[in-house]
């Protein structure tokens, strides 16, 4: 097993671990500072970035974080304490990955951008939460999922939250909640069968927008539930 733990200030960090069939690479990071550029590549199975008792913890303005995990049964557990004007990219290639992002629970994550791509595998799980802090504004999250039986659970408690989804495959379960105020938007493109899609949008002052495109090649047997309301969704 390879194990890495770093406490970082503002820096350029490149971490590469793995091999053709390697696995069991663990990375634990605690970072504070402005202008961090962090790139992590893990290749193989059962690799970890963070864990439930010792997460990857990032805090700082204008961060650029790029995480790539290639293989099966990899995990990523991160807490973004503060990260306004920052960009995070997470790419998973393989099956049975589990990723959890807790963003902005205790700090400013205004003007932040998050991109997630999952391809080449089935049974992947993503849990993404942004908000709970009044200064968390203008979040933009893009999700691209290719494969079957993936589970995506997204909660956005910020002003002006925008989600863009491209989902291709069968039996995917997608749940997303937007709450707060000021023009929430969700755009979803679906290709596949037997999907379970739940969208809840609560806006106390402005407009909720949900745009769904069901491709002609799919959509059979899918369940789609959209709730838009001023309160109580």
Per-chain mean pLDDT for the chain: 79
Distance CA 210, CA 225 (A): 11
**Percentage of the chain exceeding pLDDT 90:** 15
Task: Give the residue among 221, 148, 142 at the shortest CA–CA distance from 189.
Answer: 142
What mean pLDDT is predicted for residues 81-103?
88
pLDDT score at 209: 79
C-alpha angle 208/211/213, rounded to 5°? Answer: 165
Cβ distance 142 to 167 under 8 Å?
no
Task: Tell me the CA distances in angstroms from 105 to 55, 194, 216, 217, one per residue in order.
Answer: 15, 34, 40, 40
Residue pLDDT, tens place only, 148-194: 999 999 888 777 788 888 888 889 898 888 876 666 788 888 888 88
Average pLDDT of the residues in 207-230 = 72
Q: Closest Cα partner for 14 from 38, 46, 47?
A: 38
Q: Which domain holds residue 119?
A: 2-229
Q: How confident is the model at residue 94 (pLDDT cuts 50, 70, 90)?
A: very high
Output phi, psi for 101, to 5 deg. -120, 125
When pLDDT is cut at 50, 70 and 90, the band that residue 1 belongs to is very low
> Looking at the whole model, is its pTM more than 0.85?
no
Q: CB neighbours (10 Å) of residue 71?
A: 23
Q: In this structure, are residues 208 and 228 in contact, taking their beta carbons and an 8 Å threshold?
A: yes
Q: pLDDT-based confidence at 233, cuts 50/70/90?
A: low
State the Cα angle at 90 between 157 and 3, rounded to 5°. Answer: 115
| Contact predicate 9/32, CB 8 Å | yes
Cβ-based burial of 220 (10 A; exposed 0-12, middle 13-18, buried ≥19): exposed
Residue in this structure with the two tokens 């990219």, named with its chain if needed: 89
Confidence tier at 18 by pLDDT (50, 70, 90): low
Q: Which pLDDT does position 216 carry in this prediction?
A: 47
pLDDT in tens, 115-143: 989 988 899 999 988 876 545 567 788 88
| Angstrom distance (rounded) from CA 63 to CA 184 | 24
Structure confidence at residue 12 (pLDDT): 55
pLDDT for residue 108 is more than 70: yes
Provide, for the chain, the percentages of residues in helix, strand and coil under a 3-state DSSP scheme, each rounded to the nearest 5.
Answer: 0, 60, 40
Is 165 in a helix, a strand, or coil? strand
Q: How far apart are CA 197 and CA 225, in angstroms?
A: 6
Total number of domains in the chain: 1
């Amino acid at each position: 097993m390879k194990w890495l733990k770093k406490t970082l200030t503002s820096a350029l960090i490149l971490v590469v671990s793995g091999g053709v069939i390697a696995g069991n690479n663990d990375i634990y990071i605690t970072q504070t500072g402005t202008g961090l550029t962090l790139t992590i590549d893990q290749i193989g199975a059962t690799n970890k970035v963070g864990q439930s008792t010792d997460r990857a913890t990032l805090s700082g303005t204008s961060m650029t974080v790029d995480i790539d995990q290639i293989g099966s049964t990899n995990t990523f557990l991160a807490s973004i304490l503060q990260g306004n004007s920052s960009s995070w990219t997470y790419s998973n290639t393989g099956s049975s990955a589990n990723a959890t992002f807790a963003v902005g629970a205790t700090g400013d994550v205004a003007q932040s951008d998050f991109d997630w791509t999952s391809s080449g595998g089935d049974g992947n799980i993503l849990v993404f939460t942004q908000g709970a802090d009044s200064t968390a504004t203008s979040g933009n999250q893009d999700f691209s999922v290719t494969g079957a039986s993936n589970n995506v659970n997204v909660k956005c408690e910020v002003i002006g939250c925008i989600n863009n989804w491209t989902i291709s495959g069968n039996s995917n379960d997608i749940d997303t909640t937007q709450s707060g105020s000021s023009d929430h938007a969700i755009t979803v493109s679906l290709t596949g069968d037997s999907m379970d899609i739940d969208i809840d949008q609560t806006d106390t002052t402005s407009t909720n927008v949900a745009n769904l495109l069901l491709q002609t090649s799919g959509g059979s047997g899918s369940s789609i539930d959209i709730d838009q309301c001023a309160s109580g969704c």
